[in-house]
């Protein structure tokens, strides 16, 4: 396996020489937020590829040799730089130099949040592991879009004005939703979200000063929470008469159904946008359209 990896890297180094020759930019993005922001900003000026195919679990993803080749042929490679695409760093260092140009989104936002210490997550080099779901905060999402605009302007200066204009337009849409969410939270009678699921929303809840309780501390792919935690969630929902419990996209909803049966709470989805289903992808869902739905689900849950 390691040998295959080295061969692919060597092949990539050859391909890089030819990468920028043909017209139109080629952007390779790891997950849905990177993909969506790339296509929003680049529009018709680039062909954008998403490595994490619709319906794929982000946290279990590993690149195929074809993916690695696509990265080598790209004019721009966009990734988060967190746990799910940690593989990218070894591919990029294997390549050396500046081929392809890269945009690491975790470098573009302020105040990263460390993974919960209770989860046994440690980075290979022993440093702190940061929660990767930065885009769940609209403020971070806007920063990512602006970074995308700047990266594209550097790569393709001729069309810099186009990228700046579309980055501005996209940022305006994102900040309009941000304003809407702030209003919802200001008017809310409660400030807690109960997740009967994994929890990829730490940047979101922190941005709006919301508390949370979740079956899992983070977004690891665990499927069975402890009975103790489920009991604690049921107690919380029942004692505070919380009307809504949340799940995330592509959830089995098993924990949520248990809590709902005990408490009568309604189950709603907050979409983390890390990955989309094939249906959502085909319907043209975007960060903006999905966050719009999240805002509605939030309004109902904070009543």
Chain contacts with Zn ion (rule: CB under 5 A): 200, 219, 274
How many other CB atoms are found less than 10 A from the CB of residue 22?
Answer: 10
Q: Which is nearer to Zn ion, 142 or 219 (CB)?
A: 219
Q: What is the nearest approach in angstroms of Zn ion to the Cβ of residue 128?
A: 18
> Residue 233 in contact with residue 194, Cβ under 8 Å?
yes
* Cβ-based nearer residue to Zn ion, 241 or 253: 253
Tell me which DSSP letter residue 115 carries.
P
Q: Are strands 101-104 and 46-50 parallel, antiparallel or unpaired?
A: unpaired
Nearer to Zn ion, 104 or 133 (CB): 133
What is the closest distance, in whole angstroms, from the C-beta atom of residue 198 to Zn ion in the complex?
7
Query: Residues with Cβ < 8 Å from 74, sequence gap 6 or more?
Result: 19, 26, 27, 28, 49, 100
Strands (E) across 35-146 are located at 46-50, 76-79, 101-104
Q: Which residue is nearest to Zn ion (CB)?
A: 219
Shortest reach from residue 129's CB to Zn ion, in Å? 13
Please report how close the Cβ of residue 215 comes to Zn ion at its closest, in angstroms.
14
**Residue (171 or 274) nearer to Zn ion, CB:** 274
Shorter beta-carbon distance to Zn ion: residue 251 or 289? 251
User: Least Å distance between CB 217 and Zn ion?
Assistant: 12
Question: Which residue, 116 or 180, is less far from Zn ion as judged by CB?
Answer: 116
Q: What span, in angstroms and rounded, lies between the C-alpha atoms of 10 and 6?
A: 6
Phi, psi of 199 (to 5 degrees): -130, 90
Using the minimum distance from each CB to Zn ion, give the nearer residue, 180 or 249: 249
Please answer whether residues 109 and 144 qualify as being in contact, where contact means their C-beta atoms are separated by less than 8 angstroms. Answer: yes
Run of H or E residues at 192: strand 192-195
Nearest approach, Cβ of 235 to Zn ion (angstroms)?
Answer: 27
Torsion angle, CA of 220/224/228/229, rounded to 10 degrees? 40
Strands lying side by side in the sheet with 76-79: 46-50, 25-29, 76-79, 101-104
* Residue closer to Zn ion, measured from CB, 63 or 200: 200
Least distance in angstroms from the C-beta of 132 to Zn ion: 7
| Least distance to Zn ion, CB of residue 136, Å | 9
Measured on CA atoms in the order 101, 8, 130, 231, is the torsion positive or negative? Answer: positive
| Contact criterion met (CB below 8 Å) for 101 and 20 | no
């Amino acid at each position: 396996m390691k040998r295959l990896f080295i061969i692919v890297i060597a092949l990539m180094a050859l391909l890089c020489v030819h990468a920028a020759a043909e017209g139109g930019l080629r952007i390779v993005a790891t997950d849905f937020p990177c993909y969506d922001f790339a296509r929003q900003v680049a529009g018709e000026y680039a062909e954008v590829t998403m490595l994490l195919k619709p319906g794929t679990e982000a946290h279990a993803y590993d690149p195929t040799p074809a993916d690695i080749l696509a990265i080598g042929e790209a004019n721009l490679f966009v990734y988060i730089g967190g746990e799910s695409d940690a593989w990218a760093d070894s591919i990029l260092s294997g390549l050396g130099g500046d081929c392809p140009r890269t945009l690491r989104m975790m470098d573009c936002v302020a105040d990263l949040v460390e993974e919960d210490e209770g989860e046994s997550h440690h980075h290979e080099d022993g440093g702190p592991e940061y929660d990767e779901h930065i885009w769940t905060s609209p403020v971070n999402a806007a920063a990512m879009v602006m970074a995308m605009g700047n990266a594209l302007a550097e790569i393709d200066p001729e069309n810099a004005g186009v990228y700046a204009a579309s980055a501005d337009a996209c940022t305006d849409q994102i900040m309009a939703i941000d304003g809407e969410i702030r209003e919802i939270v200001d008017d809310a009678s409660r400030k807690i979200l109960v997740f009967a699921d994994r929890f990829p929303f730490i940047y979101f809840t922190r941005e709006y000063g919301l508390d949370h309780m979740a079956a899992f501390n983070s977004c690891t792919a665990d499927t069975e929470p402890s009975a103790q935690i489920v009991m604690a969630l049921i107690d919380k929902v029942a004692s505070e008469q919380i009307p809504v419990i949340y799940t995330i996209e592509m959830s089995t909803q098993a924990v949520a159904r248990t809590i709902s049966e005990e408490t009568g709470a309604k189950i709603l989805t907050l979409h983390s946008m890390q990955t989309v289903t094939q249906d959502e992808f085909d319907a043209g869902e975007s960060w903006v359209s999905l966050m719009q739905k999240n805002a509605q689900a939030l309004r109902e849950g904070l009543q």
